[in-house]
Amino acid sequence: EAGVTQFPSHSVIEKGQTVTLRCDPISGHDNLYWYRRVMGKEIKFLLHFVKESKQDESGMPNNRFLAERTGGTYSTLKVQPAELEDSGVYFCASSQDLDSPLHFGNGTRLTVT
């Protein structure tokens, strides 16, 4: 089966621009998570979708971040406008059930200059 796919793998944008990250979970996985790792620090939870619904978005840093999962399939994470501190690696992960193992994508490395 195909794994979790993230696009793009790298993105370099200027401060103030907009970037949209995409995640395609494993087919049939209702649960989709976004995590990010900023500047070599801990990987931190951003939010959790169950199908198309936001189950938990307590980790979203501010209202410049918008996540969607229309139709309960792929998800997008938009950062608008981007700030320097948004640089880092954004990971997407999916699981079939709430307590089944997470499958991570390779991440999107975002650099804001």
Partner 1 sequence: AQSVTQLGSHVSVSEGALVLLRCNYSSSVPPYLFWYVQYPNQGLQLLLKYTSAATLVKGINGFEAEFKKSETSFHLTKPSAHMSDAAEYFCAVSSSGGYNKLIFGAGTRLAVHP
Residues near partner 1, by CB under 8 A:
3-4, 31, 33, 35, 40-45, 48, 56, 58, 91, 93, 95, 98-99, 101-107
Beta strand pairing status for 53-56 and 75-79? unpaired
Structure tokens at 66: 């918008």
End-to-end CA distance of the chain: 37
Question: Looking at beta carbons only, is 17 or 87 nearer to partner 1?
Answer: 87
Question: Looking at beta carbons only, is 39 or 70 nearer to partner 1?
Answer: 39
Question: Looking at beta carbons only, is 7 or 45 nearer to partner 1?
Answer: 45
Burial class of 33 by CB neighbour count within 10 A (0 to 12, 13 to 18, 19+): buried
Question: Looking at beta carbons only, is 40 or 71 nearer to partner 1?
Answer: 40
- Residue 85, classed as helix, strand or coil, is helix
Please, what is the minimum distance in Å from the beta carbon of residue 70 to partner 1? 22
Burial class of 44 by CB neighbour count within 10 A (0 to 12, 13 to 18, 19+): middle
Please, what is the minimum distance in Å from the beta carbon of residue 80 to partner 1? 25
Please, what is the minimum distance in Å from the beta carbon of residue 90 to partner 1? 11
